[in-house]
Structures are given as C-alpha cells and as structure tokens.
Chains A and B, each alone.
Chain A
Amino acid sequence: MDTMRDRFVSVTSKLLDEDHRLAVVLAEITMDGFRPAQQRHPDRVINVGIREQLLVGVGGGLALTGLRPVVHTFASFLVERPFEQVKLDFGHQGTGGVLVSASASYDWPAGGFTHMAPGDVALLDTLDGWTVHTPGHPDEAEALLRHAYAAGDDKVYVRLTGQSNAAPRPVGDLRTQTVRTGSAGVVLAVGPLLDEVLAATEGLDVTVLYAATVRPFDDEALRAAVGRAAPQVVLVEPYLAGTSAAAAGQALMEVPHRILPLGVGRAELRRYGTVEEHTAAHGLDAASLRQRITAFLR
C-alpha cells in the first residue's frame, strides 16, 4: 500500500497534466517524487530551495495571478515557521490555495520535536475560513486532495500522515459520519485514530463518529448524535488535545453536556522511538483510550 504522501505525489502529478490552473510549490521536501512532473511542467512545479517564507509567499503570488497553488512541506515548516505568510499572503490578500503537509504530529519520532507539529490545526484555527482535512487512509487523502484542488479559491489545509486506518471510508461529502451507534455517549474519532477508537470502544454502548474533515466542524452531525445518546462527548484528535473542544462546545451551546478532549499532549516528551510508542505515551492507543473513555462516561 502506498502512503498518503506517495498518493499526494501520484494524484497531483496526474492532475497537473489535466488542470492547467494547478501549480505545485516545494521547498526541497518531496522534490524527488515530483521530478517527472517537473520535467513535463517546469513552470508549474516550482522548487524554491530550503526557503519556507518564500515557499508560502510564492504560493500567495501564484494565487494573485489566478493559479491554484499547492504548497507542500512538513507541517512544522509549512504552518508553524512561516505562519505569518500563511496569515497574510493568502487570507489577507483575499486569495486561496491548498497547503499540503506531511509528518503530522509525530510521524518521525526518532527525528525529535523539531519535526513534530501537533499544534498546526490549532494555529490555523486562529485564522478565518480555512478548510482542514485530516484523512485517515491514503484513499481518503486522494479524495480530499482532489476536492481541495477543485474547491475554487478556497483556503484548504490537507494534513497528511504516515499513520493509517486499515480501510478507507467514503469522505467525499466532507461530513462527519456515524460508524456505530450507542446510548451512553458519543466518541468523535478524527482521521488516522479511527481504528484505535473502534478497538477502544469495542463492546461499549457508545456512538462512534468519524471526521476526515474537521474544519468546518460538522455541528449538525455532532448535535444529531448527542440528541440520540447521553450528552457526554469524547473528542479523539491526532493533534493537540482540545483543538476542537471550542468548536464542539459551540455546536452544543444549547445542550447541557460534558466534553473529554483527547489528543496529543502539550508537553514535550523528549523521547525518540516509534510512532506506536508515542501514540501510547499520549494515551491514544486503544487500551489507554478505553480506560480514559470508560472513566469519563457515567
């Protein structure tokens, strides 16, 4: 099975042939994958070198001329390092583009904290109008990338990761979907954490929702699920814990409710190791999740 990042390269390379509005901007990362596409489209596959302010600024400039920029590097260097460029070179200019990140919260634990970006979605939440996709499978990544490229001049962030659920789900309508129904509470699983959540809640009487698009937050889906179960909501997000707590609270403003926001911890672990070890350290493995969810439900 290819990874989300492999799929990003293959789908985008193909769409560059068909959609003359698309232009890819890179800062060395993933350049090897795009080399064949660059040979076919030297003016629309642009590598600026290791220059992330320029990376995003060039994307903004392409958008000013009417192109649909696809701007890509690791999440920490795409959203965090040039954050002011994201804020001013797209939104403030009234233009849009597609930011596609790799590496996510801890895809490369041995690489340490410099290559981890658990705060990317929370940072984008400080800005207006960004759609945020968090696919949980390479097939979902393909569907959401295609959607993002065709989304007019929308501002879209696609958060790719090396982590994946075993099977894809249909995510093309961007809606939060019901995977299981129950009455004791509602667990919202985001992206690649769905399989852990399904294992954690096996045999529990809870509704499991799944979101591969978290912004805009699907208020209606959460309200509907809470209307059919006890108003106890667990959010399980593959980035900073609590990122969607405010959005969920807003959706449930008229409903007395409790929320347990789970996700990646704020504190630096200062550990290397494997993805599985980091998932467990953040309490996001199935056994830890089960314990925390059952302790919360009452």
Chain B
Amino acid sequence: MRLALAIGTFFILVIHGVVFYNQFGHQWERNQHTYFDQARVFAKTDAERAALNGRKPRIEQIVVSNFGETRVDRCTTCHIATDDPRFGSYAEPVKTHPYSPALGDQQKNGKWERRHKFSEFGCTVCHDGQGRGLEPEYSHGKDEYWPDPLLGYATQENWRKDFAPKLKGKEYMQANCAQCHTDTAFPGTALVTKGRGLFFSSNCYGCHRIEGLSDGTIGPDLSDVGKKWKLDYLWGRIADPKSILATSIMPKFNLKEEDIKALVIFLKSRKGRNFAETEIQRFKVKLTGGAELVQATIKPVQINPAEMLKQGEKLVLDRACTACHKLGDRDGGIAPDLSYEGLEKDGPWIYEHFKNPKSTMPDSIMPAFRFTDDEFKAMTAYLLTLKGSPAPAQGDAIYKALCLRCHGEKGDGQGPIAEHLDPFPRDLTKSGFMNSKPEARLVASIRNGVAGTSMPAWGKVLSEEQAKAVLGHIQTTFTKEPRRELKAREIPAKNPVAMSQESVSRGETLFVNRCAGCHGKKADGKGPNSLDILPKPRNLRNTFFVNSVDDRRLLESILYGVQGTAMPSWINDGLTNNDAGDLVNFIRSINSKPKGGQNAGAVQ
C-alpha cells in the first residue's frame, strides 16, 4: 500500500514536470529570439542594438475592429518580421510579407508602403486561420474543427487526399478579397467573377438560391455557403456530388478542373453579408431581387435566324441541359430522354415548358431558367429536330430503349430517374391495374401519352403494332397474369348532373368528407394518408391530366375504384351516380381556369 502510494505520488510529480516543461518552452519565444539575434546583426547604430537587447519575447497582437466582429490576430507573435523589409529572403516564419503592386503597395523614395496596413487589416481578414492561436497547428487552422484554415495555404488532415493538393494556391484568397472588392471588374477577384459567370452559365442558379443573385428552390440555399463549409467540401460537392451525400440529386456537371476551382472560390466568397455591404444595401438587393447583378453576369446570345438551329444546339449542350436530361450519349440521369423530343412534343409545348416548366407539367421539378425569349426559341427549334433513331420491332427491345428509364428494369416503376418524376411512373407489375383496363386504353396511353405527366406520346415513334408488341412484352414479363374478360360496368356515358354552382358545392362537401384524406384538402394529391400510398393519389389540380380524361373515366374511377391502387370503389360505400356527378363537377370546376398558354402565340 505504502509503496503504491509512493509510486503514485511520484507519478503526479512527473506529470507536473511535463506540464511545466510544455508550458514554458514556447516555439514562438524561440522564433522571436531568432528575429532579435538577426536584427542585432542588421542593426546599424548602438541605440538600435540596445533597444533590441531590451526586448523580451512577448505575445504580439493586432485588434481588428473594422471588419465584422472584432478579431484578435496574434499571428505577428511568430511572424514578427512581416513588416521588417530586411527579412525578405528569410524562411518563414521570420520573413517579410511580400510587397506587390497587385496588393496596392507603392514604392516611395525606394521604400515600400503598404496599401493594406497590418495594423488596420490584421492577418486573418485576408488569410483566414485562427488569429488567437499561438501554436502553428491551431493558428493555421489545421485542426479539423477550425472552420477557416489558412486560405490556399493550409489543408486539414481529414480532407480528401485526392482533393487536398488542388485546394492550395494563393488564388483561393480571392474569396476573401471579394469580401470588400465587390466590383465584378476588379482584376484581383477575377476567379470570383469567373465563378459567378459559371454559376449562371452552368445553370446552378436554377436550383440554388443566393441572396441577391438567384432564387432556385430545389437545392440548398448558398447565400452563406462560404461560412458553412470548407474548401474540401465545396470542391467535393461540385466535382462528385454523390460521393459526399449518397442521396444528393445534384447532377454531376461536365466541368473542367479550373472551372471547379473558380466555382469553389466564388462559393467560398458567399458569406451572407460581406464587409462592403451595409444593412441598407442588402435590403435594397432584397427589394429589387438583384436584377442588375444578374444582368451584368449573363450575356445573352444574339440569335441569328439563319443559324438558329446551330445556336440552339450549342445552347442546349453548353448550358448543362444534359446535366439532367439524356441526349445522345450524354446522360445526367435525372430527367427524361430528349432524343425523341421532336416526335413527342410540339413547338408551343416545348417553348411553354422552357418559359415555365410547371405551366405544362404541374408537378415538374425542372427549374425555370433565365434565357432570353430568342434563346428559348432557338433551343426549341433545335429540340424539334431531334427524332432519335427508329424504334426496334421487338417488344423487349422497345421496352429497353424507350420505357426502362422511367418504368425500370423490373417494370415496377422504379426506373433510374423515377424518383424525380411526379406523378410517379406506373408500376407495371400490378396486375390489378393492368388487367382492369381495356387493352385499347393501355395502347392509347402509350401512343398518345398521359397529359400533364412525364409519359410522352410515342405515337410518332411507335406504330400501333409496335405499341402492342411492347404491351405484350410488359404483360408477359412484368404483369404475368393473363388478361381476363372484363366485367361490364354500369357507368353513365355522360355526367348525370349538370354543371351548376350548387352541384359544385355539394361535390366539394363530399370531397372534403370522403376524398381529402388521400387527395388532400386542396385536391393536390397530398392528403395526410398520401405518404403511405403508392402509387400516389392523383393530383386533381393537374389541369392537363383532368382535362384529358372524359367524364366517363372519372365516374368509373370514383364509382368502381382503380384496381391496383389505393383508390377504393365508392359504389359499395353509398355513393350514388349523382354524388359521383357532383364530385366530377367539383373536380372540373377547380380546373376550369385557363392555365398557361399565354406564350403559345409566340411560337410559329
């Protein structure tokens, strides 16, 4: 016991020794001694030497209060020679900070004068890093938790090894220059300006919001992305979005390395409000939406009627359409194949879709991009020339070529791009649905498409026989159950109730009582039960779809349900033909307002 005690006590003593040693042997003191010794050699007068002899190592610090929150920069404790021009050729840390006209420094009477005086700017305003730190590891921000390591000079150990070397270089500091130098023509922030240009030309703005620049809503808001993330993360998210977040739906853009670098620098400079902005400036930008800034960035292509097709093609290919869509061998893997676009859609539809994607497809996630009308027209013209290659004759080959992208390899509606489509592609393995519909209707869906959804009209690509062949393939491979004789149903061919205000309000009451649980109070298919249901309840505000089906079909769906889905048969539940008629009138009434179409005249 006593021996153990003695050993334990000795142990504590040893630990204290170690702690004291660590406490009093500072690297920065040694650095300052190095500086003093060398300065004594340089000294020309005795007074200077005496002054140096009187100096003892101490913590130097600059309190910077002009740039955001007050900073305490102790960098000059080690980098003590930063402002001493005699140490230009020495090694860090005891080295003169370079003078350069690019930094605004001027030479007067053979003496350099700094534009950015350290006593005013400190160090971290430009360089980042942790100003208060006194150990290189911490103060350079190499510690994994420091949000802003020395910009362009230090990388952190947990950063991806393949990116880290690319994240070094003085040019990254432009992100900090841009905190004050917001002028886009400023030569010192060329890469920030380039990145801003890429942000628009690569259509990043379609999905992402940056306060005062863009207002996309699909992706995360990037207004203060530079404050949230380190370079490593920004680079990774752009270069390979899925590598960082497997569920990311951001496409992998076809960017060159220097383009990624410019984008990273631009994003790093987005820190909410920068030093140059005042509250009132920011508020003004909010009011005007920053239109001037945007116009200064995107230069519209002057469309020349003779070269319209070529210019359209160039726009489609250059402006990252294929980051989502498939076109030839370029495939973004998010949005539908454009290869047959000219056969599936007509000019006004495509043009409308460009102007406002939701106007032709109410639940589309495609952002509205800011092209000029002429550019849109050129792109429309180009897309109309896309006819694809002739479809094969065999059912399975057709399915592979045209259907698989949405309906999936197993026909279950889980194709590679299915999750981005709304309504969801039909699950073709549900025999309840497939076998309750007459073959004619299924063929019609293939050849005429389904309005208001992503199902295109294949009529100009597939002949009646080809459509039947692919349907046969679907029946045998996915649905499996053979078709049966359909029971005749008693459905009025026309709505038995005339359209009237009373009928609509009766229908609305019925709808709220019986349908809103799944279809939602707004009839947008987003009722509380909709989350657990697949296929999702129909969005009954999808005017294109609702207007494309006749009363008889609506009545059938209401009265007899839709087999293979969650829609029940209401005829067994006390709903009369007249009730169903009221419901149909209600559904028609909420879709009666003309939607879109105001731009249709623009396209010949």
A binds B: no
